[in-house]
Amino acid sequence: MSNLRLIPRLDIKGKNLIKGVHLEGLRVIGDPQEYAVKYYEDGADELIYMDAVASLYGRNNLSEIISRTVQNVFVPITVGGGIRSVEDVQRLLRSGADKVAINTAAIANPELIKEVSNRFGSQCMVLSIEAKKMPDGKWHAFTDNGRERSGRDVHEWVQQAVGLGAGEVLLTSIDQEGTRKGFDLELTRSVSEIVPVPVIASGGMGSVQDLFAVVDQGKADAVAMADILHYDRMTLVEIRDAALAEKIHVRQV
């Protein structure tokens, strides 16, 4: 059995680490560099950086932040937000990123998934999905940091994207994000069961019990967490120790 990966998620606006609720109402937390180093020293398996306002600028603006981060942080880094071309991917990889997470541009042009996968490898191509449950009980994929409805059914879209070469899925529940009420277990499980690639659950972790649930019931391969870490409600060390006590396979550091 593969180890569950514990992944701090850092949402960025300008040069600041921010946090919102339902991907809205963004509040400044601090310097992302300081938080990234702390999380690395506490044993993070990977880091995720998301440019929360990339759609306003038409491109991802995290190259400088990533370049500084990789001088002191030595775990894989996934970067997302505003990535629209193979050239954008190449620029971020040269800055030090290991993987890219693409949402809006992939929905607009699914062939971009194949282009990135063929050029840099499927392990580099992470499909980012921002999912919201509709009144009919189905989940739809949203774009532009959760602001725009794409009209795409999440399950149909994730299968198409993996077929095109996406090697991993970052699955964010807009309904749960920032609420501290736990992950959307039904959403996570339903996606995990239909694709053969790892699924990172994101959005809603309020306690370590939520992590236990998304692993057991949601079948997640990795957990992205933000609020619980940024506001010092638990440390990565405490989360890892609790997972080990629960007999969950995590990397021992």
Q: Per-residue pLDDT tens for 123-139?
A: 999 999 999 999 999 99
DSSP 8-state code for residue 75: S
Query: For domain 5-245, is the CATH number 3.30.365.10?
Result: no
Which of 46, 130, 144, 177 is labelled catalytic?
A: 130
- Cα angle: 246, vertex 251, 253; to 5 degrees: 105
Q: How many CB atoms lie within 10 A of CB 160?
A: 15
What is the Cα–Cα distance from 32 to 143, expressed in whole angstroms?
A: 24
Task: Give catalytic status of residue 184 as yes or no.
Answer: no
Lowest mean pLDDT among 155-159, 175-179, 213-217: 175-179
Whether pLDDT at 22 is above 90: no
Q: Given pLDDT bands bounded at 50, 70 and 90, which one contains residue 25?
A: low
Task: Give catalytic status of residue 177 as yes or no.
Answer: no
Instruction: Give start and end residues of each alpha helix (H) in 74-220.
Output: 86-95, 104-108, 111-120, 154-164, 185-192, 208-216
Instruction: Give start and end residues of each alpha helix (H) in the chain.
Output: 32-41, 54-57, 63-69, 86-95, 104-108, 111-120, 154-164, 185-192, 208-216, 227-230, 236-245
H-helix or E-strand containing 48? strand 47-51
Average pLDDT, the chain: 94
- Token pair 């959307």 in the structure block, residue: 184
What is the Cα–Cα distance from 157 to 10, expressed in whole angstroms?
A: 25
Tell me the per-residue pLDDT of 47-56, one tens digit each, with 9 for 90 and over. 999 998 886 6
